[in-house]
Amino acid sequence: MLKTPLLFLIFNRPSTTAKVFAEIRKIKPKRLFIAADGPRDDVFSDKERCIEARKITENIDWKCNVTRLYRESNLGCKKAVSSAIDWFFENVEEGIILEDDIFPNQSFFKFCERMLALYRKEKRIMHIGGVNFQNWDKNVRDGYYFSKYVHIWGWASWKRAWKGYDVNMQDWPEIDSKGILDKYYDNLIEKIYWNTIFEAAYSGKIDTWDYQFVYHIWKNGGISIVPNKNLVSNIGFGKGASHTSSKNSKLSEAKLFEMNPSFKNKIIKINSEADIYTRKYIFKINLINILKHKLYYKWLV
């Protein structure tokens, strides 16, 4: 049984919701929070699919304290997810967050629970991820590593770390002008890449919540924990996805690995080799992609 509170975020995808919830049922969380965005008015099939997704989460056959937050109208990804996480951390001190298209294995839950306990009082650690995009064990050899990058495909955190999160990034102009985030950038190209994204998020050009979380962590000098093996897989690529529409992506349905979570504290130091790999091959931060980003965000209304 999982003692750590779990937040499950759902919407209108009953097929992926069923797969992820089946894995949640195996771990039997003692406290389960379920948040669901409401159907869109202009999408005819949404109402039925939202109802179907919600019904799936009613199949609870273990002793569990369940709290639900069901939206009647559609808030969109940005407001629905961020407000649900706000709600979650108003009720718990720490917890695990899963979306309806992020499939975990059982090691994911155990890893998160162990890391939450180990680094509960270490304020610099603000995020625990479940995904590993590395060339598997090539760059990470000892259980987990510390990274400046924040991956939100299955993650865990503390109320203390979420505190102060602002989905509207109201202080972005000041933070940008003072160069407070510069220590996170390896070079000018990376600075332009992230600042372009942060400016788009601040301007309301993208309907998301996660870039704001990266920004929140960085402006507070935080870092993330990443397992040395991949523990979650995005099964939501393709039609119906909000931000992962290409089913042919190499990140789609990544292989999962089991791991023993009996880890201990270690010296907090960012694994630069692993982060360079992430920058080059996952975010693909280079001059060509920067130009694509700037053109894309320029034309967003």
CATH number at residue 247: 3.90.550.10
Could you report the per-residue pLDDT of 173-190, keeping only the tens digit for each? 999 999 999 999 999 999
Distance CA 76, CA 52 (A): 19
Summarize the confidence of residues 6-29 as an average pLDDT.
98
Could you report the per-residue pLDDT of 74-131, keeping only the tens digit for each? 999 999 999 999 999 999 999 999 999 999 999 999 999 999 999 999 999 999 999 9
Amino acid type, 189: I
Give the CA radius of gyration of the chain: 19
The total of structural domains in the chain comes to 1
Residue 266 in domain: yes
Q: pTM of the entire structure?
A: 0.93
Q: Which of 40-54, 71-85, 258-272 has the lowest mean pLDDT?
A: 258-272
HEC per residue, 123-146:
CCEEEEECCCCCCHHHCCCCCEEE
Residue 1 in domain: no
Residue 256 in domain: yes
Q: Kindly report the backbone phi and psi dihedral angles of residue 189, in degrees, each rounded to the nearest multiple of 5, phi listed first.
A: -65, -45
Residue 231 in domain: yes
pLDDT at 6: 99
Residue 82 in domain: yes
For strand 144-147 and strand 102-104, is the pairing parallel, antiparallel, or unpaired? unpaired
For strand 223-227 and strand 144-147, is the pairing parallel, antiparallel, or unpaired? antiparallel
H-helix or E-strand spanning residue 210? helix 210-219
Could you report the per-residue pLDDT of 202-254, keeping only the tens digit for each? 999 999 999 999 999 999 999 999 999 999 999 997 555 444 444 444 565 78
Token pair listed for 67: 């709290």
Please choose, from the candidates 130, 99, 87, 124, the residue with its C-alpha nearest in 3D space to the C-alpha of residue 112. 130
The C-alpha angle with vertex 3 and arms to 18 and 235, in degrees rounded to 5, equals 25
Domain with 232, as residue range(s), is 6-298
